[in-house]
Every structure is written in structure tokens, then in C-alpha cells.
Amino acid sequence: MTSEQGINATIIKLRRQLQRFFAGALAPLVNWLATRGIRPDQITWVGFDLAVAAAVLAAFHLFTLAGILFLLSGIADLVDGALARRAQRVSDSGAFLDSILDRGGEALLHAGAAVAFAWWGVWPGVLAVVLSLSGSHLTSYSRARAEALGIDLEEVWVGRGERIIVLSIGLILHFALIAFWIIAVASWLSAAHRAWLAHSRLTVGRHAEPGAAAASHPDDDEEEGGESGSR
């Protein structure tokens, strides 16, 4: 195993340990919701609504409240998946809805912050938001495209979970500009890392028949599903 493979394996291991930790911490809430017949899609919509509210507050320069609501939105994203497994309601349609609303909520939060920075005339902040959003989506899309080509690409340096934590803390503690720049740089590096991994595995590990790649190359954007912390 190379040093890079060891680092990637360590990152995956740590992320799974964190997922198990949060799953245990949220288990009482998940069980309470399950006993009351709450559906996972309802929690998914609650998380999206919280992200929308966070975006509006951010646009009006209320960064602390926006950060709190965005963090709660991220927690809802953990709860809906756990609830789906607890209630045996896991479905492709639910995973698709979850991915779409996650991306929508995250994009709106960035839009709200961009409005605030533009209003203040902080154009480096607007640039940071643009790079943060584009890098975040490229990180997710690189995995989705790789999986569409049959390549498992779980490794990621900075995923959705890390983005939520950094941006939420940045908004709450009023160093949003720094937080967006952190995510901007880290997301683009993560996307480049995933692209390099995918290219290496497609080149070395696969010898697809002519036309196979083209057949599995849809034009529409594919969002990765699965574990929230890995997106």
C-alpha cells in the first residue's frame, strides 16, 4: 500500500467512525421520530426549509442565525437517512430527493452570502462564494461521474459534512469570508484529487470496450447519493 493509499484509507476510516458516532448520538431522536410515524422525506424537507431560511438570513447580514440554521439543516440531513434505515423506508426516490434538496439548500446558502458580500462591496467574498459553490458541486459531480463509469470513488478530503461544519462555524463566529475561502480552496483540491483518482483507475484498472464509456455518459447532472458525510 502506497503512502497515498494509506492516507485515503485513514480518511475513510475516520469518516466512518464519525458517522457511527453521530448515528449513536442521534439514535434517541431517530427512534422518537420513528415511533411517531414521521417519514424521512418530511425531515428532508425540514432540512431544506432550514437551509432556505439560513440563506435569507445570510442575505440580510444575519450571519449568526444563518449559521445556526444551516447547521441544523445538516443535522436534519443526518437524521433523515438514519430514520429511513430505522423505519425501513430506504428508496431510490428518497435518496434522489435528499441529494437534490441538499444541493439546492447549499447553493441557496452560498447565494445568500454572496448577496451580503456584494451589498458590503466585499468582492473577494463574492469570489470566495463562487469558488466555494463551484468546487463543492464539482467534488460531488466527480464522484457521480466516476460511479456512472463503474469506479468506486469514496475518497474525499473535504465532503459535505466538513463543508457544513466549516461554513456554519464561520457564519456563527463571523469569519465567514475566511470560511468560504477555506472551502473554496479545499473543495477544488478535493475535486482535483477525485479527478486524478478516477482517471488513474479508468486508465490502469479498466479496459472498457469501445463505446462503453459513451453509453454510460448521460448529459444531465448526476448527484451522488449514499452517506451524507461523503458527498
Q: Distance between alpha carbon 89 and the CA centroid of its chain, in Å?
A: 22
Above 50 in pLDDT, residue 209?
Answer: no
Average pLDDT for residues 23-30, to the nearest whole number? 79
**28: how many CB neighbours lie within 10 A of its CB?**
9
pLDDT at 93: 83
Integer CA distances (angstroms), 178 to 63, 132, 173, 182, 230, in order: 13, 11, 11, 6, 23
Q: Are 35 and 83 in contact (CB under 8 A)?
A: no
**102 catalytic per annotation:** yes
Query: What length is written for the chain?
Result: 231
Instruction: For the chain, list the strands marked E by DSSP.
Output: none
Closest CA to 163 of 107, 225, 115: 107
Average pLDDT for residues 28-36, to the nearest whole number? 85
Q: Are 193 and 181 in contact (CB under 8 A)?
A: no
User: CA–CA separation, 144 vs 55, rounded Å?
Assistant: 26
pLDDT at 224: 41
Above 70 in pLDDT, residue 206?
Answer: no
pLDDT bracket for residue 8 (50, 70, 90): low
Q: Which residue has the cell 464519525?
A: 18
User: CA–CA separation, 137 vs 231, rounded Å?
Assistant: 9
Whole-model pTM: value is 0.80
pLDDT bracket for residue 208 (50, 70, 90): very low
What element of type H or E holds 32? helix 3-35
Better-scored residue on pLDDT, 219 or 121: 121
Q: Say which DSSP state 88 is in.
A: T
User: Which of the residues 41, 102, 219, 221 is marked catalytic?
Assistant: 102
Residues whose CB falls within 8 Å of the CB of residue 201, separated by 6 or more in sequence, listed in order: 146, 151, 153
What sign results for the dihedral spanned by CA atoms 97, 127, 141, 169? negative
pLDDT tens digits along 43-68: 999 999 999 999 999 999 999 999 99
